[in-house]
């Protein structure tokens, strides 16, 4: 038997952080997705212990300021894409306003650190979310295109094929055949 799960990455990550930090013994506040403020000085040995604990969950403590800003860009993109209602604003404008930097600066920094563009990262994240929506919510292609703020179903289909190598309908056929085999 196979069970298909739907989960909220942000909620899951926040729960892990809260559980592990409550055991850690230092007062803290989660400032937003991906940022924790400790209310007291944490010794390096304790931070190392926390790094080890978080590493088990794929969570990394970042210290380089450029990498921190790139992570904030990624977090805001995730927040934007996975929101119940995707803000109807260009990613460039949204990022510049949220991070208080010009989009040109953010774009250059992102490319320097990740070796890909913000635009490409957004497309990859949207396609991954579209796959989840196909699998878990059983939404139609039209509903998913609307949910992810695509200008048209054709635009989503083209990006899906360019990213995955298959059309959304071929993806759905593959999933349907796998489900039938596993019944």
DSSP per-residue codes, 39-72? SS---HHHHHHHHHHHHTTT------HHHHHHHH
Range of the domain at 4: 1-61
- Domain membership of residue 115 (yes or no) is no
- Domain membership of residue 11 (yes or no) is yes
pLDDT band, residue 62 (cuts 50/70/90): confident
pLDDT top residue among 1 and 176: 176
* pLDDT value at 11 more than 80: no
pLDDT band, residue 122 (cuts 50/70/90): very high
Residues 6+ apart with CB under 8 A from 58: none
Tell me what pLDDT residue 45 has: 85
pLDDT band, residue 112 (cuts 50/70/90): very high
Residues 6+ apart with CB under 8 A from 145: 152, 153, 155, 156
Boundary of a domain, candidates 9, 30, 61: 61
Give tens-digit pLDDT for 127-158.
Answer: 999 998 888 877 889 999 998 989 899 999 99
Contact 82, 10 (CB under 8 A): yes
Residues facing 38 on adjacent strands: 28
Alpha-carbon distance values, 89 to 85, 86, 123, 182 (Å): 12, 9, 15, 42
pLDDT band, residue 1 (cuts 50/70/90): low
- Domain membership of residue 8 (yes or no) is yes
* pLDDT value at 110 more than 90: yes
* pLDDT value at 118 more than 90: yes
**Mean pLDDT of the chain, nearest integer:** 86
Q: What is the CATH number of the domain that holds 146?
A: 1.10.10.60
Boundary of a domain, candidates 18, 46, 61: 61
Boundary of a domain, candidates 22, 39, 61: 61
Tell me what pLDDT residue 107 has: 95
Tell me what pLDDT residue 47 has: 83
Contact 135, 4 (CB under 8 A): yes
Structural domains of the chain, count? 2
* pLDDT value at 7 more than 80: no
* pLDDT value at 32 more than 90: no
């Amino acid at each position: 038997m196979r069970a298909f799960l739907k989960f909220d990455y942000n909620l899951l990550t926040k729960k892990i952080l809260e559980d592990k930090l409550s055991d850690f013994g230092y007062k803290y506040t989660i400032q937003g997705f991906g940022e924790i403020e400790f209310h007291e000085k944490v010794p390096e040995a304790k931070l190392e212990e926390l790094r080890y604990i978080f590493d088990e969950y794929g969570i990394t403590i970042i210290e380089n300021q450029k990498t921190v800003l790139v992570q904030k860009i990624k977090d805001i993109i995730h927040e934007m894409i996975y929101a119940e209602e995707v803000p109807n604003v260009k990613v460039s404008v949204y990022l510049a306003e949220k991070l208080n930097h010009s989009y040109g600066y953010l774009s250059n920094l992102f490319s320097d650190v990740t070796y890909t563009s913000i635009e490409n990262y957004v497309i990859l994240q949207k396609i991954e979310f579209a796959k989840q929506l196909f699998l878990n919510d059983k939404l139609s292609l039209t509903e998913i295109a609307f949910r992810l703020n695509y200008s048209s179903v054709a635009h989503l289909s083209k990006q899906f094929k360019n990213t995955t190598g298959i059309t959304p309908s071929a993806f759905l056929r593959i999933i349907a055949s796998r489900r039938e085999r596993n019944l």
